[in-house]
Chain A
Amino acid sequence: MEALHQLAHGFVVALSPLNLFWAFVGSVLGTAIGVLPGIGPALTIALLLPVTTQMNPTGAFIMFAGILYGAMYGGSTTSILLNTPGESGAIMTALEGNRMARRGRGAAALATAAIGSFIAGTLATIVLTFAAPTVAELAFVFGPADYFALMVLAFTSVSCVLGASRVRGFVSLFLGLALGVMGIDAQTGQARLTFGSPELLDGMELVVVLVGLFAVGETIYVASRYGGGQLLLNPLAGGVWMTREDWRRSWKPWLRGTLLGFPIGALPAGGSEIPTFLSYMVERRLAPKREEFGREGAIEGVAGPEAANNAAAAGVLVPLLTLGLPTSATAAILLAAFQNYGLQPGPYLFLNNPDLVWGLIASLYIGNVMLLVLNLPLVGIWVRLLLIPRPWLYAGIMVFGIVGVYGLGGSELDLALMVVVGLAGYAMRVYDFPIAPALLGMILGPMAETQLRRALAIGQGSPWTLVESPLSATILVLAVAVLLLPTVLRRLQPA
């Protein structure tokens, strides 16, 4: 079993004191931002990018993975205790989890969420361990036309599945593509869309766009609609951790959640909203005590979605590591991080940097254990983070944003662009444009263009090259199907 050998080697890498330290830092940071509103794993990783260029890439990615997973755990804590999901994958958890907490069963809800997350995360990582090298082998079969088709599929799915309307999703995508195209063209050295500014020759900095869209845009939006909410802490006391019956009721939802979460997380635009929603629906249908749903709070409704959430997070790593294809906003930023180090995820990464890849996968197991330990006993501490007054919290987010943007190259132009992008992010929130497609467009766009030009060069200009190989033809048909699906669904339903 080649994979097991590699994994064993990966554990040697991941268990080094320095990498353990980074895993710990990532997990703590991830849990903290999962708990706090206004800042998520995508923005945090983006802010850390300039800092981590000084670091060994293995340690950096171990830390990023810790942040990614930690945010899942942290988000469910606030979901259950305070009915405020820390991130979109935790919305379903809040439904039943908060009801349980209000009935004094908060500790059990937290326990089932944490344990379910651990089990799902570990199982999903096991599948990742064996699936990744196999899928990576597949990538050798992919030619430029196939890669281009795959990216078109990712673009289409992200734009069509998320958000209120496809037009808005595509506007967001094309905005991202437009930003990504600015700067010097890699293949001809030609300056494009730089508006005569020498600073823009390198293109728009990713951190500027990320801080603008997420930190500044979010802060402007929340500030303008702030109600001055007062947070009530649900007491954890009065709850027993999990009883035997709780365990009995939870283990099947854990497994079902994992089965739902992992494959959907691996699909383009899979994300965590769909698998958690599906898991909730499934558990509701299958639960013996169905009447508890929506009233006292059914533990299955926490166990399933939480497992789905974490399994989806591991699933996202499959296409990212094996094909270099990001299927969520955070994955797109991780891809950008790889590019920062001059690394290209895909089969060559498995060949040339086995330490990095397998060390990362091994540290996912370790991270899950760390997070279980961090989250169960220390829940009280995390929740106290929410006592930070909101004005200071968002003010702090702005300050960190400036660190990230100015710390890069000391450019006031970057700061000004940050505000401009922030205003765009504000408008997107006000008028309900999804933000993830813009990110995907900006990060994946240049790569898609390279593959397109390569494919056309090989095919000597014939656009048919793009559909010649059965692989690319199938993928493009899928993309068209995704595009047309909402229209078809609407026709099938009576108005």
Chain B
Amino acid sequence: MSSRPTEAEPAPDTSSTGTRPPPRPSWLGVAVIALGLVWLYGALSLPQAATYAVVGPGFFPAVIGAGLVILGVLLLVAVARGERFEPQDAEDADATRAPSRAAFWTTVAAGVAPVFVIRPLGFPIAAAVTFALTARAFGSRRTLLDLGVGLLLGIACWLLFSRLLGLSLPGFPPLGVA
């Protein structure tokens, strides 16, 4: 995490009192409670107490599940009380801007694409697709160039990591290169 250092002169506060209403993410509390319930359910179907060890494998997960439920409720209370949920500062990211949905979904696509591409078409091509999609999310319109650079990067990674260092990355299955 990093943030822009504060200037000596007072800077205008554009963070929370901008044109957008402050976020009230009640769904966060609900999501945490839901997760907690899932963990509780999973935990309670396990043996709780083993004869020799007092607490069985289900104990810790149950504690975690219960903890998440309680925390989810506390979160809902915090949201209801109007606690501020400001986006974090990050380099290159302007926390005061409204987020771009297009960029969001393009980046998600960049992450999801390899799931479908990597086994049939190999790593270098998957890398090219991810590379180009991510670059596009950041505003690049030179898609062909991005695909080319991504492919080069993918091949370089494949040579380095798969051939030299022993990880298992498929090369180009249609041609039988593992």
Of B57, B94, B101, the most chain A CB neighbours within 10 A belong to B57
| B39: A residues at CB distance < 8 A | 178, 181, 193
| B71: A residues at CB distance < 8 A | 167, 170-171, 174
Which of chain A's residues 374-401 have a Cβ closer than 8 Å to chain B? 389-392, 394-396, 398-400
Smallest CB separation, A353 vs chain B (Å): 24
Residue ID in chain A nearest B94 by CB atoms? A227
B135 touches A391 (CB 8 A): yes
Q: Is A232 an interface residue (CB 8 A)?
A: no
Number of A-B contacts (CB under 8 A): 266
Interface size on A, as a range, is 35 or more
The segment from A135-143, A339-347, A425-433 found at the interface with B is A425-433
Give the complex CA separation of A161 and B97 in angstroms: 28
A54 touches B165 (CB 8 A): yes
A223 touches B137 (CB 8 A): yes
Smallest CB separation, A450 vs chain B (Å): 10
Of B87, B123, B135, the most chain A CB neighbours within 10 A belong to B135
Q: Is A222 an interface residue (CB 8 A)?
A: yes
Among candidates A171, A188, A192, A222, residue contacting B93 with C-beta atoms closer than 8 Å: A222
Chain A, residues 283-327, CB within 8 Å of chain B (1/0): the string is 000000000001100000000000000000000000000000000
Give the complex CA separation of A9 and B64 in angstroms: 45
A223-B106, A449-B60 known; A188 vs B50 contact (CB < 8 Å): yes
Among candidates A87, A178, A223, residue contacting B103 with C-beta atoms closer than 8 Å: A223
Number of B positions contacting A (CB below 8 A): 91
A187 touches B53 (CB 8 A): yes
Q: Is B25 an interface residue (CB 8 A)?
A: yes
Give the complex CA separation of A228 and B136 in angstroms: 12
Chain B, residues 138-161, CB within 8 Å of chain A (1/0): the string is 111000001001100110010001
Smallest CB separation, A5 vs chain B (Å): 36
B99 touches A225 (CB 8 A): yes
A167-B78, A192-B42, A453-B55 known; A174 vs B68 contact (CB < 8 Å): yes
Chain A, residues 337-378, CB within 8 Å of chain B (1/0): the string is 000000000000000000000000000000000000000000
Chain B, residues 118-142, CB within 8 Å of chain A (1/0): the string is 1100010011001110111111100
| A432: B residues at CB distance < 8 A | 85-88
Give the complex CA separation of A390 and B132 in angstroms: 13
Q: Is B80 an interface residue (CB 8 A)?
A: no
A225 touches B91 (CB 8 A): no
Smallest CB separation, B46 vs chain A (Å): 6
Chain A, residues 399-440, CB within 8 Å of chain B (1/0): the string is 110110011111010011011001100110111101100000
| B60: A residues at CB distance < 8 A | 181, 449, 452
Residue ID in chain B nearest A37 by CB atoms? B91
Taking Cβ atoms with an 8 Å cutoff, the residues of B that contact A are: 1-5, 8, 23, 25, 28, 32, 35, 39, 42-43, 46-47, 50, 52-61, 64-65, 67-68, 71-72, 74-75, 78, 83-88, 90-95, 97, 99-101, 103-104, 106-108, 110-112, 114-115, 118-119, 123, 126-127, 130-132, 134-140, 146, 149-150, 153-154, 157, 161-162, 165-170
Can you list 20 A-B contacts (CB < 8 A)?
A167-B71, A171-B68, A177-B67, A195-B42, A221-B93, A222-B90, A222-B92, A224-B100, A224-B104, A224-B107, A226-B103, A391-B139, A395-B130, A402-B114, A407-B169, A410-B168, A431-B28, A432-B86, A452-B55, A456-B54
Taking Cβ atoms with an 8 Å cutoff, the residues of A that contact B are: 37-38, 50-51, 54, 83-88, 90-92, 94-95, 98, 164-165, 167-168, 170-171, 174-175, 177-178, 181, 185, 187-188, 190, 192-193, 195, 216, 218-229, 294-295, 389-392, 394-396, 398-400, 402-403, 406-410, 412, 415-416, 418-419, 422-423, 426-427, 429-432, 434-435, 449, 452-453, 456-457, 460-461
